[in-house]
């Protein structure tokens, strides 16, 4: 048998993030606020300091971030990174490829969430060919809009409780209605294939078949073209993992 899965371990996504330090509408420096619908996200803090603010069924929470700390949160946690000074993070994302496929909804004000075209227009950055300054300006506008919505959502939760967050979830899910089949394909080719490969290897070991060990290969991640680029939380460097054959 062979090692059929060639992606990052367990089908995760890995990226390097330099968190924005520009001031947001509420006077706090940091990145955008958003939620993932099907992916758990992990932060490995490698430098600087900051905070993670979240909205969930537990209400508003805030924790300090510092070097060598690891934190993670599951789908449904609306989150926002705050930079108190040169906050650098390695992101490990479950189901690599799904966030890039749309499993990430910014917490824009309600009028954007209820209008798919208006949301898509506000979330999409101009092509880099228009110049980095224009891209960065659009990213900041997008970030500020998400923080305006985050602050409003926090206020609504303080007033109405979890019902306010449930309404946000419904609007977020409606924005990606029709994407399920495309997302399923990404998941099957990544996390599912990684798990099934392990299952086949376990069965092979039980049968005394060690052939997959002889098929082991080395992979070296390559910085994705265009990195670093303006992301939701900061300047993000993404990686591609090409096949490397002996």
Domains of the chain: 9-210 (2.60.120.10)
Give the confidence band of 6 by pLDDT, cuts at 50, 70, 90.
Answer: confident
Instruction: Give strand ranges (E) for 57-126.
Output: 59-66, 70-73, 78-93, 105-106
Query: Average pLDDT in the 18-47 region?
Result: 97
Residues in contact with 10: Cβ distance below 8 Å, sequence separation at least 6, in sequence order = 191, 194, 195
pLDDT in tens, 201-239: 999 999 999 999 999 988 899 999 999 999 999 999 999
CA distances from 165 to 106, 169, 234 (A): 13, 6, 25
Give percent of the chain above pLDDT 90. Answer: 91
């Amino acid at each position: 048998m062979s090692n059929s899965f060639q992606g990052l371990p367990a089908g995760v996504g890995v990226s390097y993030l330099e968190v924005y330090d520009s001031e947001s509408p509420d006077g706090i420096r940091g990145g955008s606020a958003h939620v993932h619908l099907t992916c758990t996200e992990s932060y490995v803090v490698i430098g600087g300091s900051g905070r993670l603010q979240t909205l969930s069924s537990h209400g508003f929470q805030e924790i300090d971030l510092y070097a060598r700390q690891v934190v993670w949160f599951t789908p449904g946690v609306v989150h926002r990174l705050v930079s108190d000074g040169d906050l650098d993070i390695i992101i490990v994302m479950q189901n690599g490829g799904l966030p890039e496929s749309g499993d990430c909804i910014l917490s824009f004000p309600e009028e954007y969430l209820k209008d798919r075209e208006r949301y898509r227009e506000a979330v999409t950055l101009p092509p880099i060919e228009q110049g980095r300054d224009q891209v960065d300006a659009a990213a900041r506008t997008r970030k500020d809009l998400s923080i305006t919505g985050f602050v409003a959502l926090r206020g609504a939760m303080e007033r109405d409780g979890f019902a306010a967050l449930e309404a946000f979830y419904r609007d977020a899910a409606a924005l990606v209605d029709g994407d399920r089949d495309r997302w399923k394909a990404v998941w099957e080719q990544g996390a599912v294939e990684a798990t099934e490969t392990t299952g086949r290897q376990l069965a092979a070991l039980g049968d005394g078949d060690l052939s997959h060990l002889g098929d082991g290969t080395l992979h070296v991640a390559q910085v994705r073209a265009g990195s670093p680029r303006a992301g939701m939380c900061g300047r993000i460097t993404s990686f591609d993992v090409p096949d490397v054959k002996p």
